Amino acid sequence: MSAPDFASRPQLADDVAAVVRRRIFDGTYAAGSYVRLDQLAAELGISVTPVREALFELKAEGLLDQQPRRGFVIRPVTGRDITDVAEVQAFIGGELAARAAAVITDAALADLAAVQADLEAAYAAGDGQRAVRLNHDFHRAINVAANSPKLAQLMSQITRYAPEAVFPAVEGWPENSNQHHRRVLAALAAHDQAQARAAMAEHLTAGASPLIEHLTRRGVLG
């Protein structure tokens, strides 16, 4: 995988952290291996400062350990980690969907349906990177519509722990995800808070098991 062009982009630390997360979850960085600050900075064509900030961010997330005089080492990821994140996402995401169902406008619903149509097209075309962006847009639009900024902020923080970039490669997940999204859309359109909560919670928990299987096959999970 070629490194993205970081030189002219803002929020470099967040971008670097996203790259390292992706490499952890696709198996490029194995548990126990070291992330060399200078080497990664040179690869990405940036200074060591945003790389250092990114690695400390990932340490705070529990993905890295820092060892004296040796640097940052990849911590093992477990199935329990994946399940725990999914369950917390389901609880908060379900509540956000329920709140969105109560107040979402026709215009917001139309925009959300358009995002979903684009997402399904991206999956069909095998464009995983675009699918990841559109999936993020779909969920973010619902969270914004809920008009609960603190809860949405918590959801955003939790989602950083979920390997979103891996999901397009999980066997059967694009089709299942599209079905889940359509059920969420139907519940939102009906302003059915209970069904929106249930549909979103089911969606966010359903991905854990196939993701664990996928990551185990790739040698990412111990």
| Helix/strand/coil for 34 | strand
Q: Which CATH architecture has domain 12-74?
A: Orthogonal Bundle (1.10)
Residues 103 and 197: their CA atoms lie apart, in Å, by: 14
Q: Write down the pLDDT at residue 159.
A: 86
Name the token pair of 163.
């390997």
The per-residue pLDDT for 1 is 45
pLDDT of residue 107: 97
Q: What is the pLDDT of residue 10?
A: 47
Residue position matching structure tokens 């999936």:
135
Q: What are phi and psi of 72, to 5 degrees?
A: -100, 130
Domain boundaries, the chain: 12-74, 79-217
The stretches in the chain having pLDDT less than 50 are: 1, 8, 10
The predicted pLDDT at position 162 comes to 80
What single-letter amino acid sits at 142? I
Percentage of the residues of the chain whose pLDDT score is greater than 70 = 95
Q: Which amino acid is at 120?
A: E
In CATH terms, 79-217 corresponds, of 2.40.128.20, 1.20.120.530, 3.30.110.60, 3.40.50.150, to 1.20.120.530
Burial class (CB in 10 A: 0-12, 13-18, 19+), 153: exposed
Give the DSSP H or E segment for 74.
strand 71-74
CB-based contact 142:188 (threshold 8 Å): yes
Q: Chain centroid to CA 178: how far?
A: 16
> What are the pLDDT digits (tens) for 68-81?
888 999 999 899 99
Q: What is the pTM of this model?
A: 0.83
132-170 pLDDT, tens digit per residue, is 999 999 999 999 999 999 999 999 988 878 888 889 989
